[in-house]
Chain A
Amino acid sequence: MAHLSLRNVGKTYAGGTQAAVSGIDIEIADGEFIVLVGPSGCGKSTLLRMVAGLETTTEGEIHIGERLVNKLDPAERDIAMVFQNYALYPHMTVRDNMAYGLKNRGESKTTIAERVAEASRMLELGPYLDRKPRALSGGQRQRVAMGRAIVRQPAAFLFDEPLSNLDAKLRVSMRMEIRKLQKRLGTTSLYVTHDQLEAMTLADRLVVLNEGRVEQIGAPLEIYRKPASTFVASFIGAPAMSLLDARISDGAISLEGHALARVGNASGPVTLGLRAEDLRIAPQGIPLAVEHVEELGAQRIVHGTIGAQNIAVIEVGEAAIQDNVHVAVDPDKLHLFDTSTGRRLEVQSQPHQEMAL
């Protein structure tokens, strides 16, 4: 068990001009579950593999516990990794797969047997110990990969999209299982995924990456409530936050000529973010031309346009929806972003002049 710290970490590939990853500063407390999330190509896997020692680190320092590990071999870093395709050794039994790393570290036979037994009890792998990976289902292989990590009792677990190869239903149950196991073992974990739902449900803290840089670090809800940029806003939450061109003039936000709320921010163009779940269909408000309704059972998502801009609204009622409706939003649910930089602007509200629609 150990804390993990990345200090100004970066990587530029040999011959490459642009950094694949740069300026990463993350302090991870002992036992914390950190999820690195971002679209494909954002550098999250590269970063994870740098921590594992599978990629060289060209800038900054990586510490595991008190040790600087930049120059250490993967095996010396005291980490265990779970791969997307599991990377089980196909010619070894489940037992040997789990024991291989321990054998190489010269652990005694009894220790190995104990640890394998314990891990297989935890993961309910007992009946499969003498099988080869090819005789297992996807979910079982995933468990073996987990088992291989657990028996090592490492300072940190590294997960590289471990659930991507499973079907949707299994993914949900394995997700919960991973979280439970991690809580029980209390091992510091770094987890990479491109799936924002997986990220939200697993993480103590999320690290949102974009083009090799950190966009935002924070607890899932904090990131959901206060996305630091339009990128984070559109990446976290489903359906994605609608980002609309709006203006602030005379101390009020106006969207397509409809005044929304009074704010103290400076005048000029601004990007307005509205979450579908914060919007509601109301007798009066901004007129919305409905284009398409997605029925999800518990709720439905109404897609439409305000002026020429697309917007999504979540509706829980069951009444038929007209072609033209009005939508309303609480002023404290508005997100404002700088149009040119995409960074979040704090809404300077003027509470006494409520203008709820």
Chain B
Amino acid sequence: MQRIKPFDHLILILGALFLITPVVMALMSSTQNAIDIHNNGLYFTPGSNAVPTYGKVLTHRGGFTGDVTGMRMLMNSMIMGIGFAVGKIVLSMMAAYALVYFRFRFATLLFWMIFTTLLLPLEVRIMPSYQVMSTLGLLNSYTGLIVPLLASATGTFFFRQFFRSVPDEMLEAARIDGAGPFKFFIDILVPLSRTMMAAIFIIMFIYGWNQYLWPLLMTTDESFYTLMRGIKSILQVWIGSQIPDYNEAFALAVLAMLPPVTVVVIFQRMFIKGLTESDK
């Protein structure tokens, strides 16, 4: 056995502190009021202002048109995260199924067509993507927020790897048992993939929830704002104000980080497995 030195713990504690302190500070400061923060700087202790601050952030109609509340943004972020994750799983499972379990013409060509999308992230084709969306009239819609982000093969890649690891005999037994392509998919393959689906759901939910640039461009109508978009607009209001609403900004940040962090901490094991085993 290796000896455990206190030094190792020291480094870990420093590392953990480095990572977690900003989060704690944001959380604590969100329970203070803006003037205190303005005068005293950031807080490490909880204040008494949590209820009014969060209440205001969640229900106050903010923005330029006064249309959007924190609740609304929270809901939009949820729709974005869940919609993206579900869409991704459905599309990529089906595509991976076709690629792994069928013999058909142009299969290899299609394989390359799909996997080329891994080459270029959305950011490098952001301008033309925007133009395409406006041509299609999809600006300010949930479809426009979610569907274009699905145009990447990450999920297909994960599921393809997973399907390849399913023993060949599973299909053979099912065929002898009289299962056709649709039955095999629904009865056997989907139930077999449950763990994989859950892991990918978590990763994709976080990815969708955390989207910033795309919602920024796609939504001018504030009723479609997500929390990430809200952060941008709270900063825009900020400029030029005397005492910015620090506490509200922090409260918004806490709301924006809470769901994904909760999901990751609760499903830690599954999440790590999904991430490290499928990404490689």
Residues in chain A within 8 A of chain B (CB atoms): 52-54, 73-75, 79-81, 83-92, 100-101, 104-105, 148
Interchain CA distance A80-B188 in the complex, whole Å: 18
Stretch at the interface among B3-11, B17-25, B45-53, B176-184: B176-184
13 example contacts (A-B, Cβ-Cβ < 8 A) are as follows: A53-B176, A75-B176, A83-B169, A83-B172, A84-B169, A85-B167, A87-B167, A89-B174, A91-B191, A91-B194, A92-B191, A104-B178, A105-B178
Whether A87 and B175, one on each chain, are in contact in the complex, defined by CB atoms closer than 8 angstroms, is no
* Interface presence of B192 (CB below 8 A): yes
* Interface presence of B173 (CB below 8 A): yes
Residues in chain B within 8 A of chain A (CB atoms): 167, 169-170, 172-179, 183, 187-188, 191-192, 194
Interchain CA distance A197-B175 in the complex, whole Å: 31
Interchain CA distance A88-B231 in the complex, whole Å: 52
Interchain CA distance A105-B175 in the complex, whole Å: 12
Whether A101 and B169, one on each chain, are in contact in the complex, defined by CB atoms closer than 8 angstroms, is no
Which residues on B sit within 8 Å (CB–CB) of A90?
A: 192
* Closest 7 pairs between A and B when the two form their complex, measured CB to CB: A87-B169, A101-B177, A75-B178, A104-B178, A87-B173, A91-B191, A74-B175
Nearest residue in A to B183 (C-beta to C-beta)?
A: A104
Return B191 CB to nearest CB of chain A, in Å.
Answer: 4
Given contacts A89-B170, A91-B191, A91-B194, contact A101 B175 (CB under 8 A): no
Interchain CA distance A92-B178 in the complex, whole Å: 16
Please give 18 more A-B residue pairs, beta carbons under 8 A apart, in addition to A83-B169, A83-B172: A54-B175, A74-B172, A74-B175, A74-B176, A75-B176, A75-B178, A81-B176, A86-B169, A88-B173, A89-B170, A89-B192, A90-B192, A91-B191, A91-B194, A100-B177, A100-B187, A101-B178, A104-B178
Nearest residue in A to B194 (C-beta to C-beta)?
A: A91
Partner of B172, one of A81, A100, A104, A105: A81
Interchain CA distance A250-B178 in the complex, whole Å: 66
Which residues on A sit within 8 Å (CB–CB) of B169?
A: 83-87
Whether A54 and B172, one on each chain, are in contact in the complex, defined by CB atoms closer than 8 angstroms, is yes
Which residues on B sit within 8 Å (CB–CB) of A91?
A: 188, 191-192, 194
Which residues on B sit within 8 Å (CB–CB) of A104?
A: 177-179, 183
Interchain CA distance A53-B188 in the complex, whole Å: 20
Nearest residue in A to B177 (C-beta to C-beta)?
A: A101
Interchain CA distance A52-B187 in the complex, whole Å: 22
Partner of B173, one of A53, A73, A83: A83
Interchain CA distance A54-B194 in the complex, whole Å: 27
Return A141 CB to nearest CB of chain B, in Å.
Answer: 13
Whether A75 and B175, one on each chain, are in contact in the complex, defined by CB atoms closer than 8 angstroms, is yes
Nearest residue in A to B176 (C-beta to C-beta)?
A: A74
Interchain CA distance A80-B172 in the complex, whole Å: 11
Whether B170 and A80, one on each chain, are in contact in the complex, defined by CB atoms closer than 8 angstroms, is no
Interface centre among A81, A83, A87, A88 (most CB of B within 10 A): A87
Interchain CA distance A73-B178 in the complex, whole Å: 9
Nearest residue in A to B193 (C-beta to C-beta)?
A: A91
Interchain CA distance A162-B179 in the complex, whole Å: 22
Interchain CA distance A275-B178 in the complex, whole Å: 48
Interchain CA distance A101-B183 in the complex, whole Å: 11
Return A271 CB to nearest CB of chain B, in Å.
Answer: 41
Interchain CA distance A157-B3 in the complex, whole Å: 60
Nearest residue in B to A96 (C-beta to C-beta)?
A: B187
Whether A80 and B178, one on each chain, are in contact in the complex, defined by CB atoms closer than 8 angstroms, is no
Whether B183 and A79, one on each chain, are in contact in the complex, defined by CB atoms closer than 8 angstroms, is no
Interchain CA distance A54-B174 in the complex, whole Å: 11
Nearest residue in B to A92 (C-beta to C-beta)?
A: B191
Nearest residue in B to A149 (C-beta to C-beta)?
A: B176
Whether B194 and A81, one on each chain, are in contact in the complex, defined by CB atoms closer than 8 angstroms, is no
Whether A87 and B179, one on each chain, are in contact in the complex, defined by CB atoms closer than 8 angstroms, is no
Interchain CA distance A81-B174 in the complex, whole Å: 11
Return A335 CB to nearest CB of chain B, in Å.
Answer: 40
Given contacts A100-B187, A104-B183, contact A87 B172 (CB under 8 A): yes
Whether A87 and B170, one on each chain, are in contact in the complex, defined by CB atoms closer than 8 angstroms, is yes
Interchain CA distance A90-B166 in the complex, whole Å: 11
Which residues on A sit within 8 Å (CB–CB) of B172?
A: 52, 54, 74, 81, 83, 87
Which residues on B sit within 8 Å (CB–CB) of A100?
A: 174, 177, 179, 187
Which residues on A sit within 8 Å (CB–CB) of B177?
A: 75, 100-101, 104, 148
Which residues on B sit within 8 Å (CB–CB) of A79?
A: 176
Return B174 CB to nearest CB of chain A, in Å.
Answer: 8
Nearest residue in A to B166 (C-beta to C-beta)?
A: A90
Whether B173 and A81, one on each chain, are in contact in the complex, defined by CB atoms closer than 8 angstroms, is yes
Interface centre among B178, B188, B191 (most CB of A within 10 A): B178
Nearest residue in A to B170 (C-beta to C-beta)?
A: A87
Interchain CA distance A90-B192 in the complex, whole Å: 7
Which residues on B sit within 8 Å (CB–CB) of A74?
A: 172, 175-176
Interchain CA distance A104-B173 in the complex, whole Å: 13
Which residues on B sit within 8 Å (CB–CB) of A83?
A: 169, 172-173
